[in-house]
Structure 1
Amino acid sequence: MHDNRSDPPLPAAPPDPAQPSEPVLPPEPRQSWARRWWVLVVLAVVIVLGGAAVLVAALTTQPERLAFPIGGCVSLDNAAAVDAVPVEYDCADSYKAQYRITAREQVVYPIPTACVKYSEATKAVFPPADPGSKPKVVLCLAPTRFNTSDPGQLQPGDCIDVQKSGDIINRVDCGFAPKPEKVVAIEIHTKVPAQQSCQDQPTARSAFAQSSLGGRAVVVCTVSTDPLSIHNAKVGDCADGKSSKTIPCTDAKADQRVLSVHVLNRTPARPECPDDMGASGSFTTSNQNTDLVLLLCTGPADPNSSHYAVVGDCIGENDRNSSSAAATFRVDCGDPRAVYQVVDRHDSDDNSCPAGAGASLTYPPGVTTGSTVCLRRR
């Protein structure tokens, strides 16, 4: 027998347990821009205050500025006085920055001895001190280029106005009138009067000196900027003795001709021009503070003067009735005016002539030992 019953249905599978889901957080609240701005402000204030504290600490730990430092500039209330008081000024101050501090030295006496080892220094002073306190340092000062009256600041090529034989020297423009002197060199000597002044300066024609630090001398070697000055005369130039100026030899005022130029470091011995034939005069310049002497030996401006006659020359006369040598002149021997011929010349005014000489010209001693020119009538 067939059983038509079916098997009972299987129970349904239990459903999958539900998977747990991620928790959902509430949205973060947005910070306001105002709050952020205040945070930044507070942070900035903290930084500024911190920086200020560091700066204050640095300033309080820095050493106090040194008064009158080396390289600083000063003015002196009375530069010529021993107790001149320096006042600090900016070195760019063209009116007040008269001296630069080149050194600070320990106090010694006399005060200038503290600074004599510095060749550029011309002053030694104490800085200002509190009343009743003793000075602790000596300032060694060198003149700046703003200082036009201290010769220590001069340089070759500068022009100066010289007064009172060099006691006053001021730097001036080279176009200054009257014509100034031009500086050739500056020398430091041990004292005034200075010896061997400018002896290594062949172009120098003058020398001036002023007493400086510790008694040493600042010597200024110069040449005149005036092209007509007798100081610039060369051999062959002519001059007007009254004006001490060089002029053309053809000028009627020319009465002297330069025969030689000497720059000496001594007083010229007499006679001054023994080696210059025909010399009849001299021109010298010097000053009491140096030993440099300019000596010009001069003769007549006329090249045909009998002062220049040598053996073989012929001589003419301006006045046959005159016995003066000044009345004679040199002339070409073919000229009908040639009356005499020179047969002897020697350096003495002894008027001693060889036999056969019928006349003579004598020139007395002066800048030479004198001379005798012996003549034979033609």
Structure 2
Amino acid sequence: MDTALPAPARKSRRKLVLSLIALAGVCAGVGGIAGYLALQSNSVQYAVGDCVKFDASSDISEQDCDDATNSQYRIVARGSVAVVPEAPCMKYQNATRTAVDPTDTKTVLCLAPTQYNSTDPGALHPHDCVEAKNEGETITRTSCLTFSNNTHRVVGTELRPRVPVTDQACRTHPTARGAYAQASLGGRAIVVCVVPVDPKEIGNVQVGDCTDATLARLVECKTPDAKLRALAVRTVYQRPARPECLGVPGATAVSVRSGNKTDLVFVSCWGPVPENRPIYAHAGDCLAFPASAPTALATRVDCSDPAADRNVLARVDSTNRDDCPGAATSGITWDDIPAGPLTICLSRR
């Protein structure tokens, strides 16, 4: 007996139509959102991340951020124009300038210098080299192969409240030998901490180095040009009073370097190159005085040397020989020197 198989159940055409409509709606929604976002992205000019250039009239124009010639600043934030135009951007430490959005005068753009900006100190990084002119009025990034008195290597930068900087410029960069400061956004200061590029420049001196009589450049200590030897170098935050090298025995010369926009002062104290000069003598040493020669040409010698004809009794921080011990028969005095007044008290052997 033949048995008919039951007919398959028919799918509801109504449900199928509704499903297709719902799927089409979802696709349309996603496409609409994507289209809206793309439209917004393409339509916003001067957006965060875009780059701009200032022209001679201080007007800005958008530039390709990879354009090494024209990409000067990158937009790091957008804010509403305030009574003080720079106020919305002060919370961004890397912002150094502002500009009003040319397409929306109610919006201020916060700008940070790009890597291609060679004149804004906010773009500088350690190991960059700069040429500074007019006490740092202009600071321009340059080649590190350029040697001149105005060329420096950057050891770091700092952000300070104002110019002049009076709160220990470059204190976070103790290797700095000089500091320049420029006014930036809102009057705050960008401090550029530097050392000279030229290794022979006097600002690169270390204890034991030598210079000529002009204190202009470092020279080899064994050459005839070597007249002075560095006894001490230090960074301070105010120009030292005279005597500038008090407490540095033997200092007969001093170099003091500072600027007019920061409080960093680099001081180097110098004395004669030969270590046998009398100014380095201490109690217990012996001196030899050449016949018919100035006292200044006396030399320190071993006390067993037959030429030794004076005993050093004391060093006295005074030019008054009456301050010497009673056994003293003579003395050598230095008055107006950076180490302060000094008398080497002597007796005959």
TM category, shorter: 0.7 to 0.9
Shift, 1:169, TM fit: 1.1
Q: Which has the larger radius of gyration?
A: 1
Q: What is the match of residue 95 of structure 1?
A: 69
Q: CA RMSD in A?
A: 2.4
For residues 100 and 66 of structure 2, the distance between their equivalents in structure 1, rounded to whole angstroms, comes to 23
Aligned residues: 315
Aligned-pair distance for 1:152? Answer: 0.3
Is the 8 Å Cα contact of residues 365 and 371 (structure 1) preserved in structure 2? no
**1:178 and 1:364 mapped to 2: Cα distance?**
36
Counting only pairs closer than 5 Å after superposition, residues 106-255 of structure 1 correspond to structure 2 as 106-128=80-102, 135-178=105-148, 180-194=151-165, 195-242=167-214, 244-255=216-227
Decide whether the 8 Å contact of 2:202 with 2:215 is kept in 1: no
Q: Per the alignment, in what secondary structure is the counterpart of residue 111 of structure 1?
A: coil
Which residue does 2:54 correspond to in 1? 76
Using the TM superposition, give the Cα deviation of residue 376 of structure 1 relative to its aligned residue in structure 2, in angstroms: 0.8
Distance in 2 (CA, whole Å) between partners of 1:243 and 1:265 is 22
* Secondary structure class of the residue paired with 1:165: coil
Distance 1:319 1:294, change over 3 A: farther
Q: Tell me the secondary structure at the aligned position of residue 77 of structure 2.
A: strand
Aligned to 2:44: 66
Deviation at 1:372, TM superposition (A): 0.9
Q: Is residue 341 from structure 1 mapped to residue 344 from structure 2 by the alignment? A: no
Aligned residue for 1:300?
Answer: 272
Corresponding residue for residue 7 of structure 1: none
Deviation at 1:203, TM superposition (A): 1.4
**Cα distance between partner residues in 1 of 2:267 and 2:148:** 23
Give me the whole-angstrom Cα distance separating, in 1, the residues matched to 2:121 and 2:75: 17
User: 1:53-79: CA deviations, max 9, x gaps?
Assistant: x99xx68x944711211110000014x
User: 1:128 deviation in Å?
Assistant: 2.4
Could you tell me how far 1:144 is from its partner in structure 2?
0.3
Which residue of the partner structure matches residue 332 of structure 1?
A: 302
Contact 2:147 2:197 in 1 (8 A): no
- Could you tell me whether the CA contact under 8 Å between 2:181 and 2:190 is conserved in 1? yes
Q: Distance in 1 between matches of 2:148 and 2:338?
A: 32
Tell me how far apart the structure 1 counterparts of residues 301 and 92 of structure 2 sit (CA, whole Å): 65
Opposite residue 197 of structure 2, the aligned amino acid is T
Mapped contact 1:85–1:127 kept (Cα < 8 A):
no
2-side partners of 1:283 and 1:339: how far apart?
Answer: 35
Aligned partner of residue 166 in structure 1, secondary structure = coil
Per-residue CA distance 1:280-306 (angstroms, 9 max, x = gap):
111111111111111001111221111
Alignment of 1:353-364 (within 5 A): 353-364=324-335
Percent identity (aligned):
39
**Cα distance between partner residues in 2 of 1:321 and 1:329:** 11
Task: Give a deviation string over 1:300-322, Cα, whole Å, max 9, x none.
Answer: 12211111111111112235364
Distance 1:104 1:119 in 2: 14
Query: Could you tell me which of 327, 345, 348 is aligned with 1:374?
Result: 345
Checking the alignment, whether the CA contact within 8 Å between 2:215 and 2:255 is kept in structure 1 is no
Q: Relative to structure 2, which stretch is displaced further, 95-104 or 354-363?
A: 354-363
The runs of 5 or more residues in structure 2 that have no matched partner are: 1-30
Q: CA deviation at 1:354?
A: 2.1
2:229 counterpart (257, 277, 293): 257
Q: 3-state DSSP class of the match of 1:91?
A: coil
| Correspondence for 1:39 | none
Alpha-carbon distance in structure 2 between the residues aligned to 1:312 and 1:260: 24
Moved more, 174-183 or 96-105: 174-183
Structure 1: tracts of 5 or more residues without a match: 1-53
Deviations along 1:64-116, one digit per CA (max 9) or x if unpaired, are 711211110000014xxxx7211111111111110001111111132122211
